[in-house]
């Protein structure tokens, strides 16, 4: 039965490759999404980036995307199908596509590959990521100012460095305002399951948190927060529509500029493998408008944002202790990128045991 199901999924996948009709001589830029392009979160942000490529390079480039590609073996089929169909560059946008993208890159040496949020590179495989933790640090500061209970709830997806880094940055931001601030973490073990994310949010509110932040992709937690009259942060896209009086701000992924730059490089023949890790300064992520907060909190947030952009403030700067109390960063010491990219421990103040 499972085989049958897989066969159907493959057929469905094949059918969902959308190809806008256009002249054949255009360069093809292809995108693989884990969710639907209208998920209101992560995949939608990537699709907005694709649309920017369409808008700016539309006369020379045609874009193709495949949505709802599950992480794992199915992803390989989707990626290879794109490679075979003549894509010049393929953006695999989810962390879990990593090994499949690496395999596809080895199989199709003439196609350029770019893997989002990963760390494995090759001659024809670059990686790109955004320093989301910069935004999370600001969110942490806002949370500590806005919370009355002194506890924020964090709905996390999977214990990968990217997510752990976010939790730590949020915690450090909050502690910079209130050293006793606590974070409660719930692992949903999914990127996208609206009902489960809503359950997690309800559970956190029941346990006394009055700020919710999430590293999952649906707007359900925002809705629960609105229902229970507390505040929340949006994830990946501006979620203000789900909580007009609830959202404080959101980390908005703005991949477009990077996508345009890289597709242009393919057109010019200057594409080289890279390891891009841009931050707010380069414009790969933005903060949604600071709303539903008093002016002094807003000023603080804007101030921090400006300092991060100018490079004056780096969120992971010592003194920072690990969760067990041992020293991680000395006074004034800043964590290097390699440590951040492989982060597998909590800083002090996180009320959770990291799943290993």
Partner 1 sequence: MLIAESILLTIATAATPLLLAAIGELVVERSGVLNLGVEGMMVMGAVCGFGAAAMTGSPWIGMMAAILAGVLFSLLFGFLTLTIATNQVATGLSLTLLGLGLSSMIGEAFVGSPGVKLPTLANGIAEIPLVGQPVAGLFNWLAGIPLIGRVLFEQDPIFYISIALVIGVTCFLFHTRAGLVLRSVGDNHASAHALGTNVIGIRYLAVMFGGACAGLAGGHLSLVYTPQWVENMSAGRGWIALALVVFASWRPLRLLAGAYLFGAVSIGQLHAQALGLGIPSQLLSSLPYLATVLVLVLISRNRRLTMMNTPASLGQPFVPDR
| 346 counts as binding partner 1 under rule CB under 8 A | no
Integer Cα distance of 118 and 161 in angstroms: 10
Q: Tokens 């606590």 identify what position?
A: 182
20 counts as binding partner 1 under rule CB under 8 A: no
Give the CA-trace dihedral at 220, 222, 226, 229, to 10 degrees: 120
Q: Does 334 bind partner 1 (CB under 8 A)?
A: no
Q: What does the per-residue mask of binding to partner 1 show for 230-259, with x meaning CB under 8 A? A: -----------xx-----------------
Q: Is the CB of 140 or the CB of 243 nearer to partner 1?
A: 243
Residue 81: C-alpha distances to residues 65, 72, 113, 310, 326 (Å): 11, 15, 13, 42, 49
Q: Work out which of 200, 250, 287, 320 binds partner 1, going by CB under 8 A.
A: 200
C-alpha torsion angle, residues 245, 249, 250, 256 (rounded to 10): 110
The CA R_g of the chain, rounded to the nearest whole Å, is 20
Tell whether residue 9 is a contact of partner 1 (CB under 8 A): yes
Q: Check residue 220 for interaction with partner 1 (CB under 8 A).
A: yes
What does the alpha-carbon distance between residue 300 and residue 306 come to, in Å, rounded to a whole number?
10
Q: Any idea what DSSP says for residue 113?
A: E
For residue 244, count other CB atoms closer than 10 A to its CB: 10
- Contacting residue, 219, 246, 249, 323, with partner 1 by CB under 8 A: 219
CA–CA gap between residue 94 and residue 98 (Å, rounded): 8
Per-residue binder mask for partner 1 (CB under 8 A), 30-69, x = binder:
-----xx-xxx---------------------------x-
Cβ proximity to partner 1, 206 vs 327, nearer residue: 206
> Which residues contact partner 1 by CB under 8 A?
1, 4-5, 8-9, 12, 15-16, 35-36, 38-40, 68, 153, 159, 184-187, 189-190, 192-196, 198-200, 202-204, 206-207, 218-220, 223, 241-242, 351-353, 355-356
């Amino acid at each position: 039965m499972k085989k049958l199901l897989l066969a159907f999924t493959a057929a469905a996948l094949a059918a969902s490759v959308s190809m806008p009709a256009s002249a054949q001589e255009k360069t093809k830029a292809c995108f693989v999404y884990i969710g639907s392009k209208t998920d209101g979160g992560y995949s939608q942000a990537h699709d907005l980036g694709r649309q920017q490529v369409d808008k700016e390079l539309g006369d020379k480039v045609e874009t193709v995307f495949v949505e709802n590609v599950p992480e794992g073996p199915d992803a390989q089929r989707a990626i290879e199908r794109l490679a075979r169909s003549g894509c010049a560059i393929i953006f695999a946008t989810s962390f879990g596509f990593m090994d499949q993208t690496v395999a596809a890159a080895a199989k199709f040496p003439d196609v350029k590959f770019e893997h989002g949020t990963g760390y494995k590179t090759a001659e024809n495989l670059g990686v790109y990521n955004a320093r989301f933790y910069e935004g999370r640090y600001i969110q942490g500061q806002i949370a500590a100012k806005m919370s009355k209970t002194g506890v924020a709830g964090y709905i996390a997806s999977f214990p990968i460095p990217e997510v752990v880094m976010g939790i730590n940055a949020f915690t450090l931001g909050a502690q910079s305002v209130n050293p006793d601030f606590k974070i409660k973490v719930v692992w949903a073990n999914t990127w996208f399951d609206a009902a489960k994310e809503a359950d997690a949010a309800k559970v956190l509110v029941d346990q006394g948190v009055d700020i919710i932040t999430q590293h999952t992709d649906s707007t359900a937690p925002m809705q629960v927060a609105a229902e229970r009259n507390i505040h929340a942060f949006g994830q990946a896209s501006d979620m203000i529509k789900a909580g007009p009086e609830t959202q404080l701000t959101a980390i908005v992924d703005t991949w477009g500029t990077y996508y345009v730059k890289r597709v242009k490089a393919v057109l010019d023949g200057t594409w080289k493998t890279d390891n891009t890790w841009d931050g707010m300064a380069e414009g790969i992520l933005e903060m949604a408008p600071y709303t539903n907060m008093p002016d002094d909190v807003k000023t603080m947030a804007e101030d921090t944002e400006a300092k991060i952009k100018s490079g004056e403030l780096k969120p992971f700067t010592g003194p920072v202790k690990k969760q067990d109390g041992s020293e991680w960063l000395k006074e004034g010491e800043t964590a290097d990128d390699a440590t951040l990219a492989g982060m597998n421990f909590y800083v002090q103040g996180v009320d959770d045991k990291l799943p290993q």
